[in-house]
Structure 1
Amino acid sequence: MPQYAVSAPPWLRHALTAQAGPVPWDAVLRGALACGPLLLAAVLADRPGAGVFAALGAMLAGVNDRPGSRRAAVTRLGAPALAGGLGLLLGTETAQQAPHAWQLSAVFVLCGLIGGTLSAVGPVASACGTQFLVTTAVGAGMPLPEPAGERALLFVAGAGLLLVLRIALPGRAARSGGPRRFDGERAAVAAVYDAVAALLEAVGTPAASTRRAALTAALDHAQDALSGPRLRRTASTAAERRVHAQYAAALPLAEAATALAWSRHAPLPGAAVGPRRLATAVRAAAPAGPLPAPSRGDAALCALDDALLHAADTFDKGTAQALHARRPAPSAVLRKAIGPAGREYGVRVAVCYGTATAVAQALDHTHWYWLPATAVFLVKPDLGPLASRVLCRALGTVVGAALFAGLAALLPQPAGLVAVAGACGALIPVAARHFAAQTAAVTALVLALAMLGGEPQMAWVRCGETLLACAVVLVVGHVPWPHESGGVTARLTAARAAIHVYVHHVLAEHDGRADRWTLRREAYRTLAEARAAIDRAAAELPPLARRTAGAERTAAALERLADATTACAVHLDDSGHIPAPQAAATCHEAQLLGLAGEFRPLPRPATTGSAAKEPLPARSSSRA
């Protein structure tokens, strides 16, 4: 009998897939030390309401507590906390000044528009918009005696405690004997060198494209880790300048590895040894030591050898100039917020947020604020495809409510509720691997906070509110919209524009490797964002997934054009001209994307080696 393979649909596979990786024990410890002690202190002081708002701030900060550098965490945790405090202040004052349901719904529509457009700017802005809308609903509906200003201060203080723990507690590298300062930055930069090594190991194999995407993700993470706030405009210490220079030294290595993956069809034995040693040296904050020299057989191999020489010089002397990513201008941020993706996202969030508020007000029950707060998480496409969000939210809420109902019946109060909240706060970083698990942990924690605030046990009411919020988002937020959601078109347009600038810089005889590497980073980063949006849209239900049909082919063509341009840049550095096959490939990809005629990669006069542009540093004594 013939065998037929049974495969689950994409939307179901996405809902059942969890992220892999080591357990973030540091984040678990911070979550346990933030939520539980805050609630315990408030209960002992006979101010449980104050503990509720402080623990709420710590909980939402724990949701954003992801791996990275300490300084990057200041923005990643601090900015959403301030937005959440503003939401609590606004929501509490609005509930007092707008007694009619239609007035409250109108204010929430306006807030949803602001929070939605803000969420289109980037990940941190998205977290700010989410916390602003969630806390606006909580401030307007939670029946606790604390005034608006005190609520906001308590919320920010709770998030601030977790941020202080994030900065003060030593990380895994420090506990294992490594230097504590800039351990997050060094780990991110070391991951870049490991990703370069992995790509070199995959040259000539089908895994090369996947490894190139992983290298882009590692570079994006390192760029974010190094972009945290500082007291001065320039790097303030030698150690900081060194780690920035080590990141800059990884850019030509990434370029050479990408060119090799694009142009070669045979493996390169031993090519990954040098980058692996550099990754080890970054983690230990030590010199690189001897590095094996690859053969200089063609332009890409010459570029790899030159990049290793440059890295060896940087690691041993630490004198290379640090390269910093350009920060987006305020005008660029504003254009992104009010652009097509921001407008579509803002209107969608506003309609769902306002409708959920109106429905909840019509039902007229104590926990009406749960409905709009839940709708905020469900309407956000950056949290995953709609079908996956709805399924995981419903399942996680039921599981979390059932567990809490059993624990609330068995454990003594209020000590048992404090213990449940502390345990859930510690579980949130681990549960973040899957939306259903995270929902279960958050549901149990929120129900514990509600009971500590003096409300009865309402676990099954919470389940009903979640299912109703799912229906509101499905009916109002997605079904009637004629176009695709998730910003796929806007992100593809941004990627096309960034690659346009990158290709023009390479092929129009612009000198300056630092500028080229910066433009290359922006091109590949926008491509990664577009690819992530396309993958989310492809995992939607079939009626929604069909709206982005063809986007995958466009993204693949953009990636091929970016890779071909990188190979062209490497050959231009080596010989001053582009070989005919690469020129033809570049023009072919540009023609497929409607860019033909804009770029004419004409051969340049031949030059001696890499002297066509400013040379990388000379050979270092640390090379074997």
Structure 2
Amino acid sequence: MFRTLRRARPVAPTLPPWLAHALSAQRGPVPWSAVIRGALAGGPLLLAAMLAGRAPLGVVAAIAAMLAGINDRPGSRRTSVRRIGVPALAGAVGLLVGTYSGERLDAVPLTLVLTGLGLVAGGFSALGTVASGAGTQLLVTTAVGAGMPLPGPAWQSAPAFLAGAGWLLVLRLVLPTPGSLAGDSRLAFRFDGERAAVAAVYDAVAALLDAAGTEHAVARRAALTAALDQAQDALTGPRLRRHASSAAERRLHAQYAAALPLGEAATALAWAERPLPARAGEGPRRLAAAVRGNTPAGPLPAPSRTEPALRALDDALLHAAEAFDRGGGRDLHTRRRSFVSLVRTVLGAGGREYGLRAGLCFGASAAVAQALHHGPWHGAHQHWYWLPATAVFLVKPDLGPLASRVLCRAAGTVLGALLFAGVAAVLPRPEGLVVLVAVCGALVPVAARHFAAQTAVVTVLVLALIMVAGEPQASVSRIGETLLACAIVLVVGHLPMPGQRGGRVRTRTEAADAAAHAYLAHVLSESDDRATRWTLRREAYRTLAEARAAIALAAAELPALARHSEGADEVAAVLERLVDTTTACAVHLDDTGRLTPRHTERLAGLRSELAARRGHVALRDPAPSLAG
């Protein structure tokens, strides 16, 4: 007999992280409501302006609607006011600054002004998602105002821009989302985003209880943190129709607050690493259904009360049932950041590094664009805004690793420009261009799942708008300027900067470290102030999630950049275990008034491990003493 030899299967080559990121896309259902809003935004505005004989102002309004559509993300209506409105205000200011600077300053002073504006906007972008969107729109519209002068008084552009963004915001507040008119249509329509976000928290608690004692517990705990963050954001912001919605508002706040002790007990049970009976997650699932249907909680199955964490879970379920019926409570347990802390963030390592790179990229691209404008290629560069506006989007770390976003931007621009060149040759003008703007506006929310696809759609939309404004078709020159912007951002992105590299990761990790230790110190003080404890716990987990996101982004950079954040993921993992252990200690202290040797040994071990890993990333001083 002869033994059959089996040939080993070849191992598939692993893609570099930056390339894997460039090839990956987000998944999920089609956001039909955002698609409808996109179709009703820029196209109708442009058509109305053209009928009124003010096509240039219609172009400005349509650009504003497009930028607002990029910021039109899933969530509650109240969060959309801040997410769309604040960047729109910044964009209007940028348009005024750019227009008047472009009219009054020569090339060198204008470049210096744009560089300084990039420094400031980049630093403020470190404050968060809304600030980043505002900084981006400020720089983009400044480039448009300076490099694409429109006929008519300069002061008319800013109101037109605000009108375009305001129109999409009105559509976001007025139009219902699919499924929001079921049941109590008035309340469901008004609070559809908030209700879905709070229900997702209870579902996440149930999923964590199901995963207790399994390898999926860590991922489920991270999913619970994300759900709590989204619910907290969904309930934060301006109240719409204050007097009519006060009772429903209080009810939603009470349902969110009731989920906090449930999440705390579920985290403690997952920390114990013991499987739970299936009925443990049934209560939170019924509460999730009650939130979605706006119905009473009804009877809830009680878990066994054999240990402190299970007793805490049972007490939290009873409290939730009472809160659902009573409908009181408004505290979102959000720690407000002081003005001093905001300034420290802007001037910190992350804000300085991003500000320097944004300023250099914006200033250098504006200088190169103006040189091309006044050079022998003047005929092809009547307007020079494209190159600096492209550099603004490329320098944003929110959009992925540097190499990934450069590759996606280049591919998307080439595809979009070629598509527009082919379509523009056969479309009737100007009617066909208006239809094309409306179609692209509808595609923006779908294309947002991948940066290259979004770039292609936006490129087609912007080229259509500038043709309506009277500029000739210039797809080839736009491709060349985009590739030049990619080269500028790649060079600046790898330049050595003052201080340590990886400032964004270091800043996020330091914030997570400080929040974790503040939470631990409060728990070890055995304070009875649970509201403060939940606030500190939310801050600890939220900053950890932000640090994890920044670390994952930095790890996917090219090796020359990724090496500056090596070791940060291990530090974040230890901090995560420290916060989980602190939560388990809090639940145990509530029930027994003292910690077990397992709790103290775990805390001491985590402190030692954290101290051993601090050499990789500069962190704050170690945790407070565990004595007592």
**What runs of 5+ residues in structure 1 fail to find an aligned partner?**
603-624
Partner of 1:621: none
Q: Give the secondary-structure state (helix, strand or coil) at the position aligned to 2:259.
A: helix
Instruction: Report how far residue 276 of structure 1 moved.
Output: 1.1
Q: 2-side partners of 1:339 and 1:519: how far apart?
A: 22
Q: 1-side partners of 2:63 and 2:176: how far apart?
A: 25
Asked whether the 8 Å contact 1:71–1:230 carries over to 2, the reply is yes
Asked whether the 8 Å contact 2:183–2:293 carries over to 1, the reply is no
Asked whether the 8 Å contact 1:241–1:322 carries over to 2, the reply is no
Q: 1-side partners of 2:126 and 2:508: how far apart?
A: 10
Partner of 1:610: none
Q: 1-side partners of 2:87 and 2:209: how far apart?
A: 39
- Aligned partner (choices 243, 247, 253) of residue 244 of structure 1: 253
Partner of 2:284: 275
Partner of 2:553: 536
Q: What is the identity, as a one-letter code, of the residue corresponding to 1:448?
A: A
Q: 1-side partners of 2:409 and 2:277: how far apart?
A: 46
Pairing 1:475–2:491 present: yes
Alignment of 1:543-582 (within 5 A): 543-582=560-599
- Aligned partner (choices 355, 359, 377) of residue 350 of structure 1: 359
Query: Against the structure 1 CA distance between its residues 457 and 387, is the aligned structure 2 distance closer, same or farther, given a 3 Å change threshold?
Result: same
Pairing 1:380–2:406 present: no
Q: Give the secondary-structure state (helix, strand or coil) at the position aligned to 2:487.
A: helix
Instruction: Report how far residue 2 of structure 1 moved.
Output: 3.1
Aligned residue pairs, count: 601
Partner of 2:121: 115
Instruction: Report how far residue 400 of structure 1 moved.
Output: 1.1
Q: 2-side partners of 1:229 and 1:132: how far apart?
A: 23
Q: Give the secondary-structure state (helix, strand or coil) at the position aligned to 1:271.
A: helix
Between 358-367 and 481-490, the greater mean CA deviation after superposition: 481-490
Pairing 1:371–2:387 present: yes
Q: 1-side partners of 2:305 and 2:13: how far apart?
A: 49
Asked whether the 8 Å contact 1:203–1:268 carries over to 2, the reply is no
Asked whether the 8 Å contact 2:95–2:145 carries over to 1, the reply is yes
Q: What is the identity, as a one-letter code, of the residue corresponding to 1:398?
A: V
Q: 1-side partners of 2:622 and 2:409: how far apart?
A: 46
Q: What is the identity, as a one-letter code, of the residue corresponding to 1:147?
A: P
Q: Give the secondary-structure state (helix, strand or coil) at the position aligned to 1:175.
A: coil
TM-score, with normalisation over the residues of structure 2?
Answer: 0.93
Q: 1-side partners of 2:157 and 2:233: how far apart?
A: 31
Q: What is the identity, as a one-letter code, of the residue corresponding to 2:439?
A: A
- Aligned partner (choices 188, 197, 200) of residue 197 of structure 2: 188
Q: 2-side partners of 1:125 and 1:410: how far apart?
A: 41
Q: 2-side partners of 1:26 and 1:228: how far apart?
A: 21
Q: 2-side partners of 1:597 and 1:555: how far apart?
A: 15
Partner of 2:377: none
TM-score, with normalisation over the residues of structure 1?
Answer: 0.94
Q: 2-side partners of 1:91 and 1:376: how far apart?
A: 15
Pairing 1:70–2:77 present: yes
Q: 1-side partners of 2:509 and 2:207: how far apart?
A: 27
Asked whether the 8 Å contact 1:31–1:428 carries over to 2, the reply is yes
Cα displacement string for residues 99-125 of structure 1 (whole angstroms, at most 9, x for unaligned residues): x21111100011101110110011101
Instruction: Report how far residue 590 of structure 1 moved.
Output: 1.9
Q: What is the identity, as a one-letter code, of the residue corresponding to 1:433?
A: R
Q: 2-side partners of 1:51 and 1:233: how far apart?
A: 34
Asked whether the 8 Å contact 1:508–1:599 carries over to 2, the reply is no
Query: Against the structure 1 CA distance between its residues 577 and 168, is the aligned structure 2 distance closer, same or farther, given a 3 Å change threshold?
Result: same
Asked whether the 8 Å contact 2:353–2:497 carries over to 1, the reply is no
Q: 1-side partners of 2:486 and 2:178: how far apart?
A: 40
Query: Against the structure 1 CA distance between its residues 251 and 234, is the aligned structure 2 distance closer, same or farther, given a 3 Å change threshold?
Result: farther
Q: Give the secondary-structure state (helix, strand or coil) at the position aligned to 1:174.
A: coil
Q: 2-side partners of 1:169 and 1:20: how far apart?
A: 24
Instruction: Report how far residue 234 of structure 1 moved.
Output: 11
Cα displacement string for residues 215-265 of structure 1 (whole angstroms, at most 9, x for unaligned residues): 111111111111112389999611101101111011111111111111123
Partner of 1:600: 626
Between 16-25 and 260-269, the greater mean CA deviation after superposition: 260-269
Query: Against the structure 1 CA distance between its residues 535 and 40, is the aligned structure 2 distance closer, same or farther, given a 3 Å change threshold?
Result: same
Alignment of 1:215-254 (within 5 A): 215-230=224-239, 237-254=246-263
Pairing 1:429–2:429 present: no
Asked whether the 8 Å contact 1:381–1:485 carries over to 2, the reply is no
Q: 2-side partners of 1:333 and 1:598: how far apart?
A: 25
Q: 1-side partners of 2:411 and 2:226: how far apart?
A: 30
**What runs of 5+ residues in structure 2 fail to find an aligned partner?**
1-6, 374-380, 612-620
Alignment of 1:259-298 (within 5 A): 259-298=268-307
Between 586-595 and 253-262, the greater mean CA deviation after superposition: 586-595
- Aligned partner (choices 140, 148, 165) of residue 134 of structure 1: 140
Asked whether the 8 Å contact 1:323–1:514 carries over to 2, the reply is no
Alignment of 1:267-416 (within 5 A): 267-320=276-329, 322-364=331-373, 365-416=381-432
Q: Give the secondary-structure state (helix, strand or coil) at the position aligned to 2:382.
A: coil
Pairing 1:124–2:150 present: no
Alignment of 1:8-157 (within 5 A): 8-98=15-105, 100-157=106-163
Partner of 1:605: none
Q: Give the secondary-structure state (helix, strand or coil) at the position aligned to 1:206.
A: coil
- Aligned partner (choices 198, 204, 225) of residue 213 of structure 2: 204
Structure 1 ranges of 4+ moved more than 3 A: 230-236, 319-324, 479-486, 594-597
Asked whether the 8 Å contact 2:517–2:624 carries over to 1, the reply is no
Q: Give the secondary-structure state (helix, strand or coil) at the position aligned to 2:384.
A: coil
Instruction: Report how far residue 601 of structure 1 moved.
Output: 5.0
Cα displacement string for residues 302-359 of structure 1 (whole angstroms, at most 9, x for unaligned residues): 1111111111111122235644423322332222112221122111111111111111
Partner of 2:508: 491
Identity of aligned residues (%): 64
Partner of 1:527: 544
Q: What is the identity, as a one-letter code, of the residue corresponding to 1:469?
A: A
Cα displacement string for residues 504-562 of structure 1 (whole angstroms, at most 9, x for unaligned residues): 00012222111100100001000000000000011111111111111110000000100
Partner of 1:162: 168
Between 262-271 and 494-503, the greater mean CA deviation after superposition: 262-271
Asked whether the 8 Å contact 1:578–1:601 carries over to 2, the reply is no
Alignment of 1:442-457 (within 5 A): 442-457=458-473
Q: What is the identity, as a one-letter code, of the residue corresponding to 1:565?
A: T
Q: 2-side partners of 1:101 and 1:475: how far apart?
A: 23
Cα displacement string for residues 137-159 of structure 1 (whole angstroms, at most 9, x for unaligned residues): 00001132033211011001000
Q: 2-side partners of 1:324 and 1:150: how far apart?
A: 43
Q: Give the secondary-structure state (helix, strand or coil) at the position aligned to 1:535.
A: helix
Q: 1-side partners of 2:524 and 2:74: how far apart?
A: 38
Q: 2-side partners of 1:236 and 1:44: how far apart?
A: 40
| RMSD (CA atoms) | 1.7
